[in-house]
Structure 1
């Protein structure tokens, strides 16, 4: 599991302060202790104590640097010491499993993509544990100080307990993945929904870096959202995914696999989009889509070229997504909205439809300055898992465990 019981008040303050100092060194290093004290708003004595513990644990190191405007002797600054600290980042996707060994700078050291069949001779949990064991054995010469395991995956997940309640495409029910892996390896295990982790990765490494309030929409085989509020992933200690895909937008619409009717996913997922275009092709013989196999790539290319059917279909998805986003804008008042989707290949068709609907239906005071942009990562891979580790260091939770040895 990735969370212990809540620490006491004093311990929580120490954890938070350590996380703040680590984050500032990461963002501004090399940074002097004096500047660190100012930015952290902590007393110099507190900074001295925290830094000493980090130096002794080899989590930070000292270096000489020239302060801006100074012509004297170089100052002594602090930078992170990340090279000898490793963790395993895992992404489970339908049909495959990606494992990446990274250091604390998030740099990838070695990566493997393995098949993850739906049916095996042993339960999925046992298969996953065996694959992790085998990965560590294959790369034991590269391993130094292992710190944690982070896993992202689709489905219904409780991040606090590390339980995977459902995993699309697999016979999974209430799988205690976090608990079992932690017991097997002795490492903290962090588990999160892949869309939520992608949202966090964009916040830490990508398109929304520095923004405090962000909505990220993912339009793919499923439709989901992640929300950054006040610089933090919303509900990150529980079920962080904002399940917009199963919000009903038409009570008389098509039945969704969740059992409801007219869910957003039934009209806005890439699968439903291709099904709709296939249906309409029979009555639109002038469409250029008749000249090639129908894929998301060919659909987007046709839309960019001005094909009426392709444009209308992608714009329809944009309007549906825009209506949902208008409600979310009224609730969260974000600085930025990110869209991650294969349909971004036709952003010049998709984005105006999304934007116009938001401006028509959201409060003008909230929507007037909205920045709509594509995600930096078209496919985050295990960067979502890397973001979980970075976030755990910044919060101080994982950092304190490393300081304690």
Structure 2
């Protein structure tokens, strides 16, 4: 099994703790040979983790990709609005590309990346990691085996978790849609992708409602302050207190995302001065904290999706209703029950997998590296190739258009036909 070499573009949370960590865990399968990262501290940490020389470190993707190809693959894990240019340039140089989701907040850029993949003959795989999990793979197999007959309706819920939404989408990097992506694209394109995969036919209509209901200045409790350490009178009662989430929590591991200095002093300093110590009611955030999406597919199958930041845990639950049975499941509990109508319910066993996203992170990496090794000899498309992922991105784009239009139904087929850029990809 040939070791694959890679360049890492973006050494933030996903870059370091998922893709970089995979290389460290399986050095015979993947070796990181260069890193591009503008943050010096992150860049030097990545250098230490992968044994890189100064000549293998770059402050920007432009500095890295001005050079001839240095490796087999490029892993693009930059912020959402910085995906397009390094991805296209990397493919132009001959890299196969693993691209963090979402592909881009721009419809035109999504299509242009697919065109570039075809033009340069390079793999472009999107990190829709849920398809690679034993949980969702088992559900897909049940549907394909006709265990519940024809799928009629699906209900999917993403419970973001009160501490996750406060960290990532109120205080953190994905708090403003125009700087990153709308919530339905950034967080929930995973869910659009799973629905598209399970139902396995074109989505034709989408409508959506949602808003930023809670994390607003007018919701700030009396006695609250600009920062949690400014003498806030309600800090001890507030579930979103930075002190509780980063210093005192026993079940979450969010502290490593706010500082590289994990000493008590370092954590306290990050809360005192950094963005993650701000009051959640006084941040400059504008993405929704709850949203629902209704979808109709080509055969008449329907699906509903609910995203909410107001849940005690981080989890996904699903109910799939067919003409001869029903499937219910909770991803985080690894719980799938099959109800064949008129028969006793069956508990479906799920294999244990290591890694984040229920084993999806490592499953994605194994699949991508295998395809890179066989590139040119395997005609089968990647499970989450860019062309496959386009469907879920268009669903998310349509959902956001509907939400902004007050829930107006968006005809997705008409949208595709009217977009002349699609002509070039068939």
Q: TM-score, normalised by structure 2?
A: 0.25
After TM superposition, the score normalised by the length of structure 1 is 0.26
Tell me which of the two structures has the higher relative contact order, counting C-alpha pairs closer than 8 angstroms and 6 or more residues apart.
2
Larger radius of gyration: 1
